[in-house]
């Protein structure tokens, strides 16, 4: 059983509900005589907290466990920073969906106590890393737990690009863009674009065209070890964007290449033992319950 003694807390800014939950979490952890460290940005809006503070990077280096209070967006940002440190991460949901932050605020103390007592499961979720190159020189790099997306930004014009997988030409395409998603991200933007739901245990990547200009274009699932390269048409008259998890963005020029591959480090995502992925899908996606009205 892992011994969690140094607990880091990351929270979403701008939400009084998040701050209330962090105060409760802080009291609970201190009552158990644990060492609690607040991320410096959230500490600034909690005057008189009396706790040690540190940057997100340092949290990953010194903590045995990091608890993220917020929505899935908060977890995505934390995951990109913490995966390299191999620190386990637990999510308390104060957002709207909660695919990644699955502890409800009303069960905070009970579920966190279970985790601290060693009653939890761990999922290793892989991330993607993307690199944009122009004339052979790297001009941008980003990581993503959910997806890497090529899109036109504010323009309403289509993008023309080529897709290569493991050095083999796959197709050229005109579309509103392209989504490259992990199993974690298959229930996010990729799902809205018609992609499949992939169980988190799958070691695969899904490639989903966004409103392609051909009816024969369909999502494709490839092995997670594949290297994907997107070549933006040199004749394109707009400058499309590449977004990582919808949070980090960089601009591409005509002729640029975007390379996407699996990141070596993984996120260690902790769940309480009663976590059920299919129950999460039922609840969050509005799937039907059992016949006869049973649970």
Q: Which residues make beta-bridge pairs with 230? A: 163, 258
Alpha helices (H) along the chain: 16-31, 40-43, 56-62, 72-82, 108-116, 189-192, 277-285
User: Residue 124, class by beta-carbon neighbours within 10 Å (0-12 exposed, 13-18 middle, 19+ buried)?
Assistant: middle
For residue 238, give both structure tokens: 């707009």
What residues are annotated to the active site? 72
Tell me how many degrees the CA angle 154-186-199 measures, rounded to the nearest 5. Answer: 175
Binding-site entries for NAD(+)? 72-73, 146-147, 157, 174, 176, 187-192, 247
Binding-site entries? 72-73, 146-147, 157, 174, 176, 187-192, 247
Per-residue pLDDT tens listing for the chain (295 residues) = 568 999 999 999 888 999 999 999 999 999 999 999 999 999 999 988 999 999 998 999 999 999 999 999 999 999 999 999 999 999 999 987 788 998 999 999 999 999 999 999 999 999 999 999 999 999 999 999 999 999 998 888 899 999 999 999 999 999 999 999 999 999 999 999 999 999 999 999 999 999 998 888 999 999 999 999 999 999 999 999 999 999 989 999 999 999 999 999 999 999 999 999 999 999 888 887 666 655 5
Q: Which pLDDT tens digit goes with each residue over 43-87?
A: 999 988 999 999 998 999 999 999 999 999 999 999 999 999 999
For residue 254, give both structure tokens: 């005509």
Residue 72 CB partners (closer than 8 Å, separation 6+) = 95, 97, 98, 99, 100, 101, 188
The string over 153-171, giving b where at least 16 C-beta atoms fall within 10 Å of a residue's C-beta and e elsewhere, is: beeeebbbbebbbeeeeee
For residue 55, give both structure tokens: 């940057």
């Amino acid at each position: 059983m892992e011994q969690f003694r140094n607990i880091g807390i990351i929270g979403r800014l701008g939400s009084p509900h998040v701050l209330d939950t962090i105060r409760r979490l802080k009291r609970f952890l201190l009552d158990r005589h644990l060492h609690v460290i607040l991320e410096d940005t959230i500490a600034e809006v909690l005057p008189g907290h009396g706790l040690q503070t540190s940057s997100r990077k340092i949290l990953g280096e010194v903590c045995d466990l990091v608890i993220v209070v917020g929505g899935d967006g908060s977890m995505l940002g934390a995951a990109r920073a913490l995966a390299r440190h191999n620190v386990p991460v637990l999510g308390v949901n104060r957002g709207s969906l909660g695919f990644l932050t699955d502890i409800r605020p009303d069960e905070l103390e009970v579920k966190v106590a279970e985790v601290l007592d060693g009653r939890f499961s761990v999922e290793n979720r892989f991330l993607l890393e993307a690199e944009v190159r122009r004339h052979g020189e790297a001009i941008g790099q980003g990581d993503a737990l959910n997806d890497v997306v090529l899109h036109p930004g504010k323009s309403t014009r289509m993008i023309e690009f080529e897709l290569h997988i493991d050095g083999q030409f796959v197709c050229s395409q005109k579309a509103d863009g392209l989504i490259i998603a992990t199993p974690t991200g298959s229930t996010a933007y990729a799902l809205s674009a018609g992609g499949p739901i992939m169980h988190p245990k799958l070691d695969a990547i899904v490639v989903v065209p966004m409103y392609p200009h051909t009816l024969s274009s369909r999502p494709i699932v490839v092995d997670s070890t594949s290297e994907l390269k997107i070549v933006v048409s040199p004749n394109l008259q707009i400058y499309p964007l590449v977004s990582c998890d919808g949070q980090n963005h960089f601009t591409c020029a005509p002729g640029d290449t975007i390379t996407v591959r699996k990141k070596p480090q993984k996120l260690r995502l902790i769940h309480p033992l009663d976590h059920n992925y299919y129950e999460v899908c039922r609840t969050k996606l509005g799937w039907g319950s059992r016949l006869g009205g049973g649970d």
